């Protein structure tokens, strides 16, 4: 699949898609073999547990709010206007510890199986079993780390 030229407007998504991924809203903006981008809204208290993309580089451009990050064992904070670089193979977790929603633009390169993973996670429903999330994610090239007390 090639990327068509054009503009995805602020109020638009690809084919009207809006995913609910573990209580977060992901709106895809672009999808091709080489990359996938999506606008994300993470409500307060939500997070993406530590995980690894073994086949993708991932990026976040922070639009509104501050993220607390865990990157390869180091704690960091990203603010509006910051670009977060998450190289393939490096463990990372993303946390909204603010008292309001955080908005950002994510993208990965190459897209690999992430678009399909988001459909699979969306279809697990609003309160999926964590073991199902881990299993489905691993089948789509995203590997969650075990909780710290199990390392």
Give me the CATH number covering residue 26. 2.60.120.10
Residue 8 included in any domain? no
For residue 4 the two structure tokens come to 């068509």
Task: Summarize pLDDT for 46-71 with one digit per residue, the tens.
Answer: 999 999 999 999 999 999 999 999 99
Q: Is the pLDDT of residue 35 over 70?
A: yes
Q: What is the pLDDT of residues 105-129, one digit of tens each?
A: 999 999 999 999 999 999 998 888 9
Rounded to the nearest 5 percent, the helix, strand and coil shares of the chain are: 15, 40, 45
Closest CA to 83 of 98, 102, 105: 105
Calpha distance 87→97 (Å, rounded): 23
Number of domains observed in the structure of the chain: 1
The answer to whether residue 91 sits within a structural domain is yes
Given a contact cutoff of 8 angstroms between Cβ atoms, the answer to whether 67 and 32 are in contact is: no
Is residue 149 situated within a structural domain?
A: no
Residue-level length of the chain: 151
Range of the domain at 68: 15-144
* Backbone phi, psi, residue 3, to 5°: -90, 120
Q: Looking at the domain assignment, is residue 2 inside a domain? A: no
Specify if 10 maps to a domain: no
Task: Report if residue 150 sits inside a domain.
Answer: no
**Percentage of the chain with pLDDT > 70?**
98
Structural domain contains residue 1: no
In a domain, 151, yes or no: no
């Amino acid at each position: 699949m090639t990327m068509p030229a054009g503009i995805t407007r602020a109020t638009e998504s690809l084919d009207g898609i809006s995913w609910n991924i573990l209580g977060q809203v992901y709106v895809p903006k672009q999808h091709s073999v080489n990359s996938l981008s999506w606008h994300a809204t993470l409500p307060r208290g939500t997070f993406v547990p530590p995980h690894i993309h073994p086949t993708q580089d991932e990026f976040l451009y922070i639009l509104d709010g501050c993220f607390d990050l865990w990157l390869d064992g180091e704690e960091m904070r990203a603010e509006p206007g910051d670009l977060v670089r998450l190289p393939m193979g490096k463990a990372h977790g993303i946390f909204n510890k603010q008292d309001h929603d955080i908005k950002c633009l994510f993208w990965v390169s190459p897209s690999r199986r992430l678009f399909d993973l988001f459909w699979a996670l969306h279809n697990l429903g609003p309160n999926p079993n964590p073991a199902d999330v881990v299993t489905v994610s691993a089948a789509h090239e995203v590997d969650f780390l075990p909780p710290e007390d199990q390392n």
